[in-house]
Amino acid sequence: MDPAAKYFCREATERERAVFEGGIALAALYHQFVGTPISRADRRAVETLEDAMERAAKLQPYREDVKVKINIDARKDVSSPYGYESLRGEHLDLTVKTRYGRAKATARLRYIPELDYPLMYIEEVSEG
């Protein structure tokens, strides 16, 4: 039972609920974590951040699975004390699988070179 169901308009379908939660999950991860220090030289720090982001996103309702991949470019000289970077949308590859009732959706964020933009899009949506 969804204690929030009554706040949603009747017109919203289960597929739309699943897709809505997917959009929320992607934007939450993006806007929460962009700016976090990351470094090619400390792979363990990056993996721990990926793990923390996945676990945080899964605490929200109707998420079935969340995968976070951070791809660091090789631009910076890591031997300098200023050789780390700040997490940007371009580094992120996010996949969020949501389910609401019988409906399922997969939402994705990844950098699209053609658009020069970290695009959030619907990769799959179905009614089970």
Using CB under 8 A, list all residues that contact a second copy.
2-4, 7-9, 11-12, 15-17, 19-28, 30-39, 42, 44-45, 48-49, 51-53, 55-62, 75-76, 80-82, 84, 86, 88-89, 107, 112, 114-117, 119-126
Q: How far is CA 122 from CA 11, 19, 43, 112, in A?
A: 20, 7, 30, 14
Least separation in angstroms between residue 17's CB and a second copy is 7
The least distance separating a second copy from the CB of residue 101, rounded to whole angstroms, comes to: 13
Chain centre to alpha carbon of residue 62: 14
Closest CA to 68 of 39, 18, 100, 28: 28
Cβ(102)–Cβ(122) below 8 Å: no
Considering the complex, state which of residue 36 and residue 67 has its C-beta at the smaller distance from a second copy.
36
Token pair for residue 124?
A: 């799959």
For the CB of residue 47, give the shortest distance to a second copy in the complex, in Å: 9
Q: Which is nearer to a second copy, 25 or 97 (CB)?
A: 25
